[in-house]
Structure 1
Amino acid sequence: MEESEKVALLAVAMNLALFGIKYGAALATGSIALKAEAFHSLADLVASLTVFAGLKLSKRKTKAFPYGLYKIENLISVCIALIIFYAGYEVVMEVMTTTPTELKNSGIAISVLLIAMLITFCFSKYEKKISRKINSPVLLADAAHIRTDVLSNAIVLVAVVSGLFGFQFDKIAALIVVVFIAKTGIEILIGGARVLLDASVDYETLSKVEKIILETPQVVELKTLTGRNSGRYKFIEADIVLKTHDLDRAHSIADSIERNVKNEIKHIEQVLIHYEPQQNETMIYALPLSGDRESISPHFGEAPYFMLVTFNAGTKAADKVEILKNPYINTEKSKGILAAELLVKNRVDFVLVKTNFDSKGPHYVFSNADIEVIITDEELPELAFKKLGLTVNLHLSEKEQLVIDICPNIRL
């Protein structure tokens, strides 16, 4: 039996015991407010039984309900709210139709109320803790419901004690209880209805999912991101643009995003990723430059500069040349990996290098980001591009050739 079901059964037992002792005390004392409280506990008993049944049913999946019956928890939360409203109605009717009488055996009433307050307070704290731990809306609703009993019991206790001094506050206390009952019912009703109407998941969850998706190197754009609650679980849906035209690769990337989201965020039932390949209007080539900014550096991570050359789709002549300073040249470790990650952030499509770094850090960075590495034996960038059938004019004026001294995470 799951922890949530055990808590629900404990709530059933507690409410049954509270109804018995409150109703017995109401008969012994003649208190309208205490009798109302007994029926309130009876309503709690029905609610707890409904909670337990809902927890059992919500785990099932059938052909008719392939996405599960998780929303039964939220439906039951709404039912609990209606039960709470009915309990309030019963209290009002009791106040309106009963003639007040002098209370008898006040000591019994006081003892029963003190015991009830202690039990309900401790149990509501325990149930709230468990509901947050397992993210169960129905247990959270039930905990809020039981918490109102502490307040209503306290008000009835004040009325009973006042009766000892000749003040008849029994009916007033009963009506005040109704206010607490109604407030709790409204809160639970709104919360359950929001989920049943597929209101969006909370902003914090969507922000975490967005961060995970955008940190995936192959994701070029996050077009839409939506989510909904279903019981204690969340369903996420995203439309993304990927830097790959390989369907198998795209499927693998989507699976990886789904795993990362489920690993980092609790109670995610499903992550549905719609992906499409990037329609490249430009292609960006990168290569490491030596200190003279004219020749290709034989060392990738230790190159002082990187040249970025942009070509418009369908053209063979370069549209733009940028030279980036390598901010990691003086870093003691992982220069190559950091430099590779810098180029990934700058949306590079191809990297030209003089030395193959298979099985090294930069290779895995580029492979994971679907960046093709091209080996060249040329010394000069223009000759390397010429071999690829591309034309680059490196004899640009100072205004045309842009040298960018950037922070590692900023793309100008």
Structure 2
Amino acid sequence: MKDKKTKPKLKGKHIRKLHQATKVVRNSVLLLITLTILKGFGGYITNIIALTGDAVGSFSDIIANSAIFIGLYVSQQKASGHFKYGLHRIETLISFCISLLILYLGYHIFSDSIVRLFSTAPTASHGIGVLTAVISIGVSLFAYYYQRKTAEGINSQALLASAYDKRNDALVSLGVLFSVFAEKLNISYVDGVVGLAIAVMILWSGLKNTQESLFYLLDYWDNPEITKKIRAILSKSTIITKVKNIRLRHAGTYIFGEAFLEVNPFTESKDLRDEIHRLNKKVESSVEHLGDLVLYIDPPKPTQVMVALPVCQLDGLNSRIAEEPHAPFHLIFVKLGGGKVRSVTPDEKSFTFQKATELALYLKEKKV
């Protein structure tokens, strides 16, 4: 049995955070456009290759953040047409592409730094270079903390990758600042050495983000604490006898999964339905970023069966079955298993057929 749903239950709180994240990325694009123009102007005036390369890197950030904006917007669209599960994975795909871009930029900076170790070029207007680098460091750090906080709030891998890219931009600008001072002092090799160090850090960050995005695209799961929390909630249910397996995966900013459960085979369908709905609400309110959890129910075949026999008097298996509709009677509980009578338990409590509701509740309590 499966608790059927027509579409994922996406939390209103998470939706609101996605809207806010979309605004954050939009503002970041506007900020990056301004920063790129500033760096490009500074690189043109000073003729410092590091500053010009930094401007090119910021231009690529504009493209990356524009892609994130599109990804976040598209991922909020409801499931429809051929995309029955929604478009949440597009956000993770964009994260993967941005990570590849970070790797490319890291390689580009690395190769340029090697060249600068063995070459020199005339530079000028070092004051403009210093001012541009300082402004760039401040803006990049602000964007890093701004985007990282938002990314962690909505569980966005793409936005988190972009935040780390902004941190890399701050490091690059710091390297540019050192390079400007070195050029001012006619120390040519500093530009190359600093560039190499920054390139290594950027390449490491890109490799880490690429691996994480690729793993999430392949349904990798790395948060046992959430799995443990869901298992604990399900295990406390009075009708679930065993939590057989829980499978979770990331899809964009959401977490989706399935849980395979064994339940008491004698549970009434109404009680089972109500309990499944209760458990879903409990899990959704306890696990942040959860989009949908499907509960698969497997009623096990009972190895033992409890039977209640109405008898006139208590005389073990020799008791006579109660047939008089208005006379009170007792119950004998007989446990059957493996084709044999496992136990016989008489019950002193008396009932009448007129009190059917009371009898039904008592039999349910005894798990008959």
Calculate the TM-score normalised by the size of structure 1: 0.69
- Structure 1 or 2: more helix by fraction: 2
Corresponding position of 2:3: none
Provide the alpha-carbon RMSD of the alignment: 2.9
The correspondence of residues 352-367 of structure 1 with structure 2, limited to 5 A, is none
Residues 81 and 189, structure 1, Cα contact 8 Å, conserved in 2: yes
1:11 shift after superposition: 1.4
The gaps in structure 1 that reach 5 residues or longer are 286-308, 322-351, 357-362, 375-387, 389-412
Matched residue type, 1:234: I
Aligned-partner Cα distance in 2 for 1:237–1:196? 17
1:72 shift after superposition: 0.6
Corresponding position of 2:224: 203
Match of 1:87 among 100, 105, 120: 105
Relative contact order: is structure 1 or structure 2 higher (C-alpha 8 Å, sep ≥ 6)?
2
Percentage identity across aligned positions?
24
Aligned-partner Cα distance in 2 for 1:80–1:72? 12
Corresponding position of 1:267: 289
Aligned-partner Cα distance in 2 for 1:210–1:107? 61
CA distance 1:4–1:133, shift in 2 (3 Å): same
CA distance 1:180–1:243, shift in 2 (3 Å): same
Match of 2:136 among 116, 122, 129: 116
The correspondence of residues 57-68 of structure 1 with structure 2, limited to 5 A, is 57-60=74-77, 61-68=79-86
Q: Give deviations 1:292-351, integer Å, cap 9, x for gaps.
A: xxxxxxxxxxxxxxxxx99453544429x9xxxxxxxxxxxxxxxxxxxxxxxxxxxxxx
1:355 shift after superposition: 10
Corresponding position of 1:18: 35
Q: Give deviations 1:184-205, integer Å, cap 9, x for gaps.
A: 2111111110111111251111
Q: Give deviations 1:137-186, integer Å, cap 9, x for gaps.
A: 22111111111111121122122222222311223323333212212211
Matched residue type, 1:123: A
Residues 282 and 310, structure 1, Cα contact 8 Å, conserved in 2: no
1:264 shift after superposition: 0.8
Aligned-partner Cα distance in 1 for 2:303–2:32? 67
Match of 1:148 among 168, 172, 176: 168
CA distance 1:310–1:13, shift in 2 (3 Å): farther
Between Structure 1 and Structure 2, how many residues are aligned?
A: 312
Residues 28 and 104, structure 1, Cα contact 8 Å, conserved in 2: yes
Corresponding position of 1:218: 239
Corresponding position of 2:9: none
Corresponding position of 1:340: none
Aligned-partner Cα distance in 2 for 1:114–1:77? 28
1:107 shift after superposition: 1.1
The gaps in structure 2 that reach 5 residues or longer are 1-17, 308-332, 352-357
1:83 shift after superposition: 1.4
The correspondence of residues 21-100 of structure 1 with structure 2, limited to 5 A, is 21-60=38-77, 61-95=79-113, 99-100=119-120
CA distance 1:155–1:244, shift in 2 (3 Å): same
The correspondence of residues 218-367 of structure 1 with structure 2, limited to 5 A, is 218-245=239-266, 246-282=268-304, 311-313=335-337, 315-318=340-343
Aligned-partner Cα distance in 2 for 1:271–1:184? 32
